[in-house]
Structure 1
Amino acid sequence: MSTMPTMARFWCSLLLLWLCYLVLSPVDSSPVAIMHLPGFDGPLPFSLETGYVEVDESNGAHLFYYFVESEKDPKRDPLVLWMQGGPGCSSLSGILYEMGPFRFDIQGYRRGHPTLLYRPETWTKVSNIIFIDSPIGSGFSYATTEEGFKSSDTKAVKMQVVFLKKWLHEHPQFLSNPLYVGGESYSGMIIPSLALEIHLSNKESGEEPLLNLKGYFAGNPMTADRFDSAGTIRFFHGMGILSDELYENAKKFYPQFAKESCGGNYSDPPNALCRESIQAIDNRDTYQLSYVWANDEGVRESLGIRQGTKGEWKRCALDIPYTRDITSTLEIHSRLRREGYPALIYNGDHDSVFSFVGTQAWIRSLNLSITDDWRPWPSPSLEPINLRAKCLHPMNVGRFTTSYSTNLTYATVKGAGHTTPEYKPKECLAMFAKWLSGEPL
C-alpha cells in the first residue's frame, strides 16, 4: 500500500490528467505569422497569418484560415471574408490561382517542389482578406468527431458568424474596418445567407462584437436552379454548342435532357459521364501543383497545420457529408436589397457553369429599377473607352456593367471562365477596387 497521503495522491492524479489533456486534446493555438514559405524565394513581401478558430466545441470543429493584410492601409482598408465554392473547395485555390498574393510558376515548373511567385494583381492591394476553408472538412478545416464533419448550408452560415466574432475578438484592431463577405460558384448560396445572418445578429441579438457589415459580392454565383440550369442551356445554344434542334428539345423535355448531362449541377455531378468530365477538368496540370505543394510536410509545417488532423489535402473535398438545405437565395437577395447593402454580382462571360444568362435572368426577377444603363467599362489592359461613342467596335470593349436601385452593381468580364480572376486578374482587380471605393465601374 502506498504511503503517499491521500491529498497528495489526489493532486498527483489531477496533474496527470491535466498533462494528458494538454498532450492529447487539440486546443486553439495562437495564429501563426508566416515570414517564409517553401517555394518562395526570400521573405514574403506581404503579411500572412494562418490559424484555426473553433466553431463547435462539442465536436471539436475548427475552421482553418489564411489572413493577408492589405498592402495599402490595413488599419482602414476593408476586411473581406472570401470563400470558395464546391461545397468543399479550399480557399487556398483562391489564393494560388485567383486573387491571392502569390501563384505558382507554372511555365517554369519541371518536377519536384513548385516555385511560388508574387502576384501583382492581388486583391490585397486594396483590402485585408481572410481566406476561409469552409465548411468543415474542406481544405485544412477539421473536426474531432464524425458528427462534427456533418454540415449543411445553414450550419456553414452559422459557423461563419461564430468564426467572424471569435476572429475579431482576437483581432480587435479590425473591428471598425468595413466588412464585406464574398466568393464564387456554390458559395453564391452561402454569401447572401451569411450577409443576412450577420445583419440579423447585429440588429436582433445584439451579441458583441457587432460586425461592421457594409456589403457583399459574388462571382459566377449559384442562386436558384430554375435560373442557373436554364441559363446553362441557353448559353450553350448561344455559343453554338447546341444545335437549334437540340435546344428546342431541351426546352420541351428538360428533365430528360438534364439526366443525360450535368444539367448545370457541376459541383455534385449527377451521373458518371458528367463526373468523369468534371474530374478531367479538375486534374489539369495547373491545379495538380496545389496538391504537390499543400501535401508537402514542409509546407504544412510552415502553415501551422496540426499534425494528425488532416489526411491528404484536396482542392475540392466533394465527398464531405453535406446537406444542401438552401435551395434558392432570391428572397434573401430581395431582403438585402431592401436593407440597402451594396452588392456586386459579376460573371466571366465564358462561364457555362453558372452563366451570365442565368445570372441576368435572376437579377431581372428581383424587379429592381435600373439606375445606370448597360454600358462598357474600361479595362486596365486596353485604351480608355469613349463612353459617349455611338458605335463601339467589339474588340475595343473590355467589359459591360449596369447598376440597379438599392446599390446592386452587375458586371461581366470578357473572356473569363468560371473562376473569373484566374482568367482576367488585372480586370478583376480594377473592378473590385472600383466597387469597394464606391465609384461606378
Structure 2
Amino acid sequence: MAMPRIIFLVVLLFCMLCCFINNNIEAAPQGSLIKYLPGFNGSFPSKHYAGYVTIDDGDNHPSKNLYYYFVVSERNQSTDPVVLWLNGGPGCSSFDGFVYEHGPFNFDAAKQEGGLPTLHLNPYSWSKVSSIIYLDSPAGVGFSYSDNTSLYKTGDIQTAYDTHLFLLKWFEQFPEFTGNEFYIAGESYAGVYVPTLASVVDKGIRTGVKPVIKFKGYMVGNGVCDPRFDSDDALVPFAHGMGLISDHMYKATEVACKRNYHNYTNSDECDSTLSKIYSALDGLNQYDILEHCYHSRAGVQGNKSNELPESFKQLGMSSDKPLPVRKRMFGRAWPFRAPVKGGLIPLWPQLMESGGVQCIDDTVATVWLNNKEVRKAIHANPESGEWGLCTDNLSYNNDAGSMLSYHKNLTASGYRILIYSGDHDMCIPFTGTQAWTESLGYQIIDEWRSWISNDQIAGYIQGYANDFTFLTIKGAGHTVPEYKPRESLDFYSRWLKGQKI
C-alpha cells in the first residue's frame, strides 16, 4: 500500500507545481489583455496588455490615472528583461516609440482598412528580446489623465516620484515579472526622465520599498543632460564638422564667443556670428540633416497644387490643413535653439504655434489612436480626451537641474548605463553628448572604435569604467530606432545581455 500512496503524493505535488506555474504565468490582470487591434490581421507574436494604474500621494489628494501598453517578450517572458520606455517632450506620449520606432507593429499608410491605416509586424521590434512597458507620463500626456487638471502642474521631480509609484503598483499587478531584470530607457527629454526616475528607484530599493524592483541600469538616446553641453557649444562644432557652415564662419564665431557659446561675454559680436550660423542652418531638418524638410503642400509627393493626395483625404484631412510630410514622423525633441536651462518649459504645441518646430508629422498615429474601436481595443478611457502626440495640458517645470550628478551617483551605485546618439541629429548633437560623457572623468577601458551590424560599420563606441558606455549610430537622426531599426535592435539586444557591442 506504500507505493500507491507515494505515487499519489508525487502526482499531487506535480499538480500543485503545475497550478503554481500557471498562476504565475497568468497573474497579469486578464481584463487588461488585448485580444485584437483594428488595422492588424493576424496573431500577436506575444501577449499584449494595456490599461491604467491609479496613483495618489496618500494624503486624500485627487488621483492620477497613468496609462500603459505592455508588450510581453516574444522570446522568453520568464528570463528576458522588462524595460520601461519613456518618450520626451516634455509632454509627449510614449506611443511615439510604440508606433514609429521599436514597437511590435509598423504602419502601412498606403493600405487602409475601414478608413484606418493597416499595421504589419515589425521585424526589428525591441519586444523580440525584452518585455516593454510603454508609459504615458506624466498625467495629462497621451491617454494618462486626472479628474483634477490642477495636477497637470508638475515637473521633473514630481514626474519621477509618480512614475516610481506607477512601477510599484504595476509590479503588484504583474508579480510574475518581479524576478526579471528591469531597465529604464528613453530619448530626448527622457534624458531627464530616465536618470531622475532611476535615482528614485534606487532609493526605494535601498530603503526596502516593496515590491523589490530588480533594477539593473538604463539607456538614453539623444537625450537632454546639461545646458552647457546641450547648447550651441554642441551645435557649432557639429555644424562645422558636418560641412554645414564654412571655416570662416566657424573661426569667426570661435573668436567672437571665445569658444564659450553657452555663456559668452562679448554678446553683441557673438550674437551676430551665431545669427549667421542660424541663418545658414535654417530650413534643414534639425532632427536628421540628411532627411528632407517640406514646408508646404508643394513638397508632398511632388504635388504642385493645393489639391490633397487621395491617401491623405482618406485619413480625414481637409485641404485647409497642413499636410504630413511622410508616413512616419521624424523628430520629437527639444529645439536646438532653446536648450533646457531650468524653469517652466514651453510645450510642443506652443512651440509649433511660434514656428519653433519643423519637419514633423503625426497624422497617421493621431487618426489611428483616436478611432473609437482602436481606443476600445487598447482600453483607453474616454475621460482621457483626444489623444495627441504631445500635449499642451501641462505646466511643466525643469526643476531637477543638470543630469551630470545623477549619472555620477548612479554609476557609483553599480548600475549599467548606455548613452547613445544618432550622429546626424542637430537637435541634441552627438558632439555635446560625447563631451558630457567624457567630462565625467571615467577611465577609458574600450577606446573609440567601430561597432558592427549586418557585417557593416554601424557607428562608433567608447567604453568607460563603471560600466558606462557612449555609442553612436551612423546615419541616424534624433529618434534612432526610427531611422536605423536593425542596427538599433542589435545594440539594444547585445547591451541587455551584457555582451560586447
TM class by smaller structure: 0.7 to 0.9
Aligned to 2:305: none
C-alpha deviation, 1:282, in angstroms:
2.3
Aligned to 2:375: 300
Q: What aligned pairs does 1:236-255 form with structure 2 within 5 A after superposition?
A: 236-248=239-251, 250-251=253-254, 252-253=256-257, 254=261
C-alpha deviation, 1:306, in angstroms:
1.3
Picking from 152, 155, 159, the partner of 1:152 is: 155
Q: Distance in 2 between matches of 1:162 and 1:32?
A: 19
Q: Distance in 2 between matches of 1:49 and 1:178?
A: 19
Q: After superposition, give the CA deviation of every residue in 1:221-271 in whole Å (9 maximum; x if it has no partner).
A: 110011011212221222222334443455535474778965443784899
Corresponding letter in the other structure for 2:428:
F
Q: What aligned pairs does 1:40-59 form with structure 2 within 5 A after superposition?
A: 40-56=40-56, 58-59=61-62
Picking from 138, 142, 145, the partner of 2:145 is: 142
Tell me, yes or no, if the aligned pair for 2:336 and 2:428 is still in contact at 8 Å. no
Question: Judging changes above 3 Å, is the alpha-carbon distance between structure 1 residues 410 and 143 closer, same or farther for their aligned structure 2 residues?
Answer: same
C-alpha deviation, 1:311, in angstroms:
2.4
Tell me, yes or no, if the aligned pair for 2:91 and 2:347 is still in contact at 8 Å. no
Please give the root-mean-square deviation of Cα atoms over the aligned residues, in Å.
2.4
Picking from 357, 365, 368, the partner of 1:290 is: 365
Gaps of at least 5 residues in structure 2 are: 1-28, 262-266, 279-334, 340-344
Aligned to 2:461: 401
Report the TM-score, using the length of structure 2 for normalisation: 0.74
Question: Judging changes above 3 Å, is the alpha-carbon distance between structure 1 residues 429 and 273 closer, same or farther for their aligned structure 2 residues?
Answer: closer
C-alpha deviation, 1:274, in angstroms:
7.8
Q: How many corresponding residue pairs?
A: 394
Q: Distance in 1 between matches of 2:193 and 2:114?
A: 38
1:119 counterpart = 2:122: yes
Picking from 315, 319, 324, the partner of 2:389 is: 315
1:343 counterpart = 2:417: yes
Query: Could you say what secondary structure the match of 1:45 adopts?
Result: coil
1:94 counterpart = 2:97: yes
Tell me, yes or no, if the aligned pair for 2:182 and 2:213 is still in contact at 8 Å. yes
Tell me, yes or no, if the aligned pair for 2:348 and 2:391 is still in contact at 8 Å. no
Q: After superposition, give the CA deviation of every residue in 1:338-388 in whole Å (9 maximum; x if it has no partner).
A: 1121111100111111111000100111000011111111112xx3xxxxx
Query: Could you say what secondary structure the match of 1:161 adopts?
Result: helix
Gaps of at least 5 residues in structure 1 are: 1-28, 384-395
Picking from 216, 227, 232, the partner of 2:218 is: 216
Q: Distance in 2 between matches of 1:156 and 1:310?
A: 18
Q: After superposition, give the CA deviation of every residue in 1:36-61 in whole Å (9 maximum; x if it has no partner).
A: 10110133232111011112262221
C-alpha deviation, 1:402, in angstroms:
1.4
Query: Could you say what secondary structure the match of 1:141 adopts?
Result: coil
Aligned to 1:439: 499
Query: Could you say what secondary structure the match of 1:115 adopts?
Result: strand
Q: After superposition, give the CA deviation of every residue in 1:289-335 in whole Å (9 maximum; x if it has no partner).
A: 0011011111111111112x122211111452111112210011011
Query: Could you say what secondary structure the match of 1:66 adopts?
Result: strand
Aligned to 2:338: 265
C-alpha deviation, 1:288, in angstroms:
1.1
What percentage of residue pairs aligned between the two structures are identical? 39
C-alpha deviation, 1:397, in angstroms:
2.6
Aligned to 1:9: none
Picking from 440, 444, 455, the partner of 1:370 is: 444
Tell me, yes or no, if the aligned pair for 1:264 and 1:354 is still in contact at 8 Å. no
1:33 counterpart = 2:33: yes
Q: Distance in 2 between matches of 1:202 and 1:31?
A: 30
Aligned to 1:78: 81
Query: Could you say what secondary structure the match of 1:88 adopts?
Result: coil
C-alpha deviation, 1:276, in angstroms:
5.3
Query: Could you say what secondary structure the match of 1:50 adopts?
Result: strand
Query: Could you say what secondary structure the match of 2:476 adopts?
Result: coil
